[in-house]
Amino acid sequence: MKPTLFVLAAGMGSRYGGLKQLDGLGPNGETIMDYSIYDAIKAGFGKVVFVIRTSFEQDFKSVVVDKFKNLIDTDIVFQEISNVPEGSTYTPEREKPWGTNHAVLMGKGAIKEPFAVINADDFYGQESFAILADFLRSVEGKKNEYCMIGYHVGNTLSESGAVSRGVCVVDENNLLLNVVERTHIEEKGGAIIYIDENSKEVSLKPNTPVSMNMWGFTPDYFDYSEEFFKEFLAENGQKLKSEFYIPLAVNNLIVQQKASCKVLDTPSKWFGVTYAEDRPQVVLKLNELVRKGIYPPKLFKLNSDK
């Protein structure tokens, strides 16, 4: 069975000001997500599941999903604030859903095979999809063996300002011990530094692994997440902005020794539009990848193409 790609796209409507403005960054108006799906097909993924909000379902189908329908199986699931386990309560003032691991939980009914999780608007690189697909094929039929693609922090910086990254702490077997969120990471005087809790500058080696929200799971992860989400809501359901993140759930399983998460090294360079000023750089990088022949000038031939 081929692994599935699970694309977190529920934040798109608000971030892009409506799907009609889905940002075309490639030479023929391709979005970053188009490159991810192209890479996933090439790496041997068999299905793409998108998690979105119901409010932009029709737009999403016509603008995004239709272009892939003859290339790979697709499915859509929905993330809304009200998607909580039976018996759980939350404050009615809440305005946004519960974060990335809540989005993952929405795939429970649609995904029965090993699956990858990515952000819709991050560029991950071909090597990363190949590495992830290999791992997911190796854990078919297994449980409690997960992975995360570990990017070298030096391959994830923005030229427009400081960034936040989940810095990975691993053991001698490259198994994840925990993910520590570090804010204000930037290149300064030839070194990569972050600002710690005491407002001090601390240097990071360029090859330090960081999480860019590219994960691999087996379907048992859904059951763990559901149980943990019930506990999370009991503690945080009345807070307006509490977030149920993937690293929170994964760290929890590692601490409880219920699952392991292998950090897989990738040579890929991550990029995305963290700042508005990043956009021209992303356009240049994609055009350069096309010029080198890594991607065709037009990723997908649509039915309307002559």
Whether 303 shows a pLDDT value over 50: the answer reads: no
Higher-confidence residue: 141 or 158? 141
For the domain spanning 4-149+209-291, the CATH number is 3.90.550.10
Could you write out the three-class secondary structure of the chain? CCCEEEEECCCHHHHHCCHHHCCCCCCCCCCHHHHHHHHHHHHCCCEEEEEECHHHHHHHHHHCHHHHCCCCEEEEEECCCCCCCCCCCCCCCCCCCCCHHHHHHCCCCCCCCCEEEEECCEECCHHHHHHHHHHHHHCCCCCCEEEEEEEEHHHCCECCECEEEEEEEECCCCEEEEEEEEEEEEEECCEEEEECCCCCEEEECCCCEEEEEEEEECCHHHHHHHHHHHHHHHHHCCCCCCCCCHHHHHHHHHHCCCCEEEEEECCCCCEECCCHHHHHHHHHHHHHHHHCCCCCCCCCCCCCCC
Is pLDDT of 305 > 50?
Answer: no
For the chain, which residues make up each domain, given as ranges?
A: 4-149+209-291
Q: Evaluate if residue 13 carries a pLDDT over 50.
A: yes
* pLDDT in the model for residue 106: 95
Residues 281-291 pLDDT 10s: 999 999 999 99
Mean pLDDT for 78-83 is 83
Q: Is 125 left (phi over 0), alpha (psi -120 to 50) or beta?
A: left
pLDDT (mean) for 84-94: 79
User: How many whole angstroms separate alpha carbon 243 and alpha carbon 100?
Assistant: 8
Structure confidence at residue 306 (pLDDT): 38
Highest mean pLDDT among 35-49, 89-103, 149-163: 35-49
Q: Tens digits of per-residue pLDDT, 236-282? A: 878 877 888 999 999 999 999 999 999 999 999 999 887 888 899 99
pTM of the model: 0.93
Whether 93 has a pLDDT exceeding 70, the answer reads yes
- Token digits of residue 167: 């810095």
Task: Tell me what pLDDT residue 82 has.
Answer: 78
- pLDDT for 16 equals 65
Which range has the worst mean pLDDT, 10-14, 120-124, 219-223, 236-240? 10-14
Q: pLDDT value at position 17?
A: 63
Exposure pattern of 179-189 as b/e (b: 16+ CB <10 Å)?
beebeebbeee
Average predicted confidence (pLDDT) for the chain: 91
pLDDT (tens digit per residue) in 183-228? 899 999 899 999 988 999 999 999 999 999 999 999 999 999 999 9
For residue 88, the model assigns a pLDDT of: 79
Instruction: Please give the pLDDT value at position 239.
Output: 82
pLDDT at 235 over 90: no
